[in-house]
Amino acid sequence: MAIKWGCRPWKVWRSHWNNKTKLGGYRLPIALICAIIIGCGLGYLAINNLAAWRDWQAFSPQTKLDGMIPFIPWMIVPYATLYLYYPMAAILGMKDEATQRENVIFHQIIILLTCVIFGIFLLMPAEVTIRSEVFEAKLGFWQTWYDLLHVVDSPWNAWPSLHIVQSLLVVLVINRWYSKHKNNFLIYVLWALWSLLALSILATKQHFVWDLISGIGVAVISWKFWLLPALDSCQSESLTTCFKEL
């Protein structure tokens, strides 16, 4: 059964939707990106700091496999590419009006899904206890990068990995929008880059294998039972009318 939560446009988009051609056609994407930063980014930092202050975990997801994965300092580069996925979805979702409707609904559901995952972080917290390899390594050029990462992101908010959930859903929606495009070779490149990002959460010792697996699971289930039905409904007469009435 499809999840209906967030499947109709929120009134908060009214001004941005009706003036989407302004700012060079970037007004709506900018609004969507800002909503992600406020709704997801600030919430993540607040819960991350709360978990560090509380210093309690429900269980440890660590397995022997986590110890077998080597620490690779330069993998912080693909790890940091997550922050390119947010504007990528918002901007590439402006192809035509049908895609623009899907763009709005997609970002609404991303925000709601992220809030659900925040609930998991609060109720079933897990501490990432595998950073010792990073602290013991001679990082050289990469030292500042990791110092900054660890200052901003304390070792909590482990599972499911939001890095994986959000980035995979962005790749899936862009694949939906552009898979039939004549330059769909770039879609394969995007999948390759996402695979590198997925490996990076392990190679930087930011996450356990369980975080990766659960992140993929949450993304796939959410796509099939929530996002995909919602995006399909954007072409219906009722949803088209909802956007016209904004």
Per-residue pLDDT reduced to its tens digit, 107-156: 999 999 999 999 999 999 999 999 999 999 999 999 999 999 999 999 99
For 66, 98, 227, 236, the CA distances from 17, given in Å and listed in that order, are 46, 13, 20, 18
Q: Could you check whether the bond before residue 78 is cis, i.e. omega within 30 degrees of 0? A: no
> Contact at 8 Å (CB) between 61 and 127?
no
Q: Where in the chain are the domains?
A: 11-244
Q: What are phi and psi of 145, to 5 degrees?
A: -60, -50
- Tokens representing 195 are 């695979």
Closest CA to 139 of 92, 203, 74, 90: 74
Can you state the percent helix, strand and coil of the chain, rounding each to 5?
70, 0, 30
| Residue 10 Ramachandran class (φ > 0 left, ψ -120 to 50 alpha, else beta) | beta
Burial class of residue 75, CB neighbours in 10 A (0-12, 13-18, 19+): buried
How many separate helices (H) and strands (E) can be counted in the chain? Answer: 14, 0
Cβ-proximal residues to 165 (8 Å cutoff; 6+ apart), any chain: 113, 114, 117, 215, 218, 219, 222
What pTM does this model have? 0.96
Closest CA to 171 of 209, 219, 229: 219
Residue numbers in the chain where pLDDT is lower than 70: none
105/5 Cα distance (integer angstroms) = 10
- For residue 172, the model assigns a pLDDT of 98
Quickly count: other Cβ atoms within 10 Å of residue 28's Cβ: 26
- For residue 181, the model assigns a pLDDT of 75
111/37 Cα distance (integer angstroms) = 10
